[in-house]
Amino acid sequence: MDNMTPKERIWATINRQPVDRPPVDLWCTPEVLDSLRKYTSLQDEMAVYNKLGIDKIVWIFPGYGGRFFDPNDSGEITMWGVPTRMVKAGLATYQEYINPPIADYMDPSQLAGYHSWPDPDKFDYAGAKALAKEARSWNFATIGPWISHFEIYCQMRGLENALMDTLANPDFLDATVERIDAIQTVMLERMLTELNDELDIVFISDDMGMQDSMLISLDSWETHFKHRLKNWCDLIHSYGKKVLYHTDGAVLPLIPGLIECGIDILNPIQHVCPGMDRANLKQQYGKDLIFHGGVENQRILPMGTVGEVIDETRKCLETLGKDGGYICCSCHNAQAGTPVENILAMIDTVKTYKQE
C-alpha cells in the first residue's frame, strides 16, 4: 500500500480498498493551469500535475471532424451545430452558447431535417486513445468521454425553451433527447471498445440543480432521463468501467434515483446548497456512492485565506471522506484568479491528512 501511484490510489478508493492516503484531484480553468505552470516552471500539463502530487483523473475528449473538442472551450460551432462565443468576465474567459439552432422547432417531425446531427464515425477515437496512453505513462487514471442528455438539449434548444418543454412540449423533448442519446451511445461504445484498458471512468454530465432547488421536477427527470441514464450505466459497467455523474446544485431529491440507475461517483457535492450537507450525505448515501469534489469554490477556494482553505479541506475529509470513499477536489473548476497558495493548501492538506 506504500507509495501508490495516482491511478492505483483512485481505483483503490473507488473499490473501497485501503489507500496510503486519500486521493486529491484538481479541476481548474485554463487561467489557473497557466498559473500552476508558472509556479512549477513546467509547461506540460501532465508534468504539472505530477510535480504537485495531484492524483489527476485525466480528461479524454475525442476530437470531432478534424478538430479537438473540449466542452469548456469554444470551437465557434459545436459538433451539435450550436454557435458559441467567448466572453471576458474579469480575469476569466468563458464559452457561451448562442442562437440555439432548434429553438423554433415545435414538432418532432422537424428533427429529420436538421443537418447538424453528429456522425459517430467522425470522432477521433485514435486521438483519444493516444491521449489516454499519455496519461497512463504518468500513472494517471482517465475519464471520458463527456456525454450528456439535458445539457446538450439545452444548448440546441435554448435554456428557457428546454425548461418549458418539460411541461408544454414533452413529446418534442423526448424525441430530441432520443436522437441525442442514440448518437452518443454509438460513440460511447466505440470509445469503450477501442480504448479498452486505457479508460477507467466515463463522465456523464447533466446539471439538474440550481443554487437552492432542482432545475426541473423529479417527475420530469424520471420520465425523460432516468431510463436513459440507467441504460448508459449498464453499458459502461458491462465494460468494467465506472460512472462519474456530474450535477451542480441542490439535488438531494435526485440522489436515490441516481443510485438506482447505477452511478458510482457523484460530483461535485456543492454543499452550500440546501440539502447537500456533507455529513448527512455521507451518512445517507456513503455506502452507495463515492464522492468527488466538495471543496467550496464560490468563496473559500478563490477568495479565502490559506487557513480557511485548510479548514474547508479537512472538513471535507472528515465528513465525505470518513472511512474512505472520497476523492477530494475543488467543487467544480478552480476559477481564474484563485491564488496558487490556496490550491497548494488544498493539495497539501490532503497529502498530509491522517484520519483519526
- Name the residue among 183, 186, 187 with its Cα closest to residue 60: 187
With respect to residue 96, please indicate whether it lies within any of the assigned structural domains.
Answer: no
Assigned domain for 66 exists: no
At residue 187, the 3 state secondary structure works out as helix
Does some domain include residue 76?
no
Per-residue pLDDT at 73: 55
CATH code of the domain in which 308 resides: 3.20.20.210
| 130 inside domain | yes
What is the reported pLDDT for 146? Answer: 97
Cα–Cα distance measured from residue 123 to residue 67, given in angstroms and rounded to the nearest whole number = 9
- The answer to the question of residue 230 being in a domain is yes
What is the model's pLDDT at position 65? Answer: 85
- 144 domain residue, yes or no: yes
Report how many domains make up the chain: 1
Tens digit of each residue's pLDDT, the chain (356 residues)? 678 999 999 999 999 999 999 999 999 999 999 999 999 999 999 999 999 999 999 999 999 987 655 555 555 899 999 999 989 988 988 889 999 999 999 999 999 999 999 999 999 999 999 999 999 999 999 999 999 999 999 999 999 999 999 999 999 999 999 999 999 999 999 999 999 999 999 999 999 999 999 999 999 999 999 999 999 999 999 999 999 999 999 999 999 999 999 999 999 999 999 999 999 999 999 999 999 999 999 999 999 999 999 999 999 999 999 999 999 999 999 999 999 999 999 999 999 998 76
What's the pTM? Answer: 0.96
Instruction: Give the max Cα distance, the chain.
Output: 61
Distance CA 163, CA 261 (A): 23
Contact present, 249 and 205 (Cβ < 8 Å): no
pLDDT for the residue numbered 355: 72
82 and 74 in contact (C-beta within 8 Å)? no
- Asked if residue 40 is part of any domain, the answer here is yes
Are 80 and 156 contacting, i.e. CB atoms less than 8 angstroms apart? yes
* Residues spanned by the domain of 55: 6-60+123-351
Would residue 18 count as lying in a domain? Answer: yes
For CA atoms 52, 136, 140, 230, the dihedral sign is positive
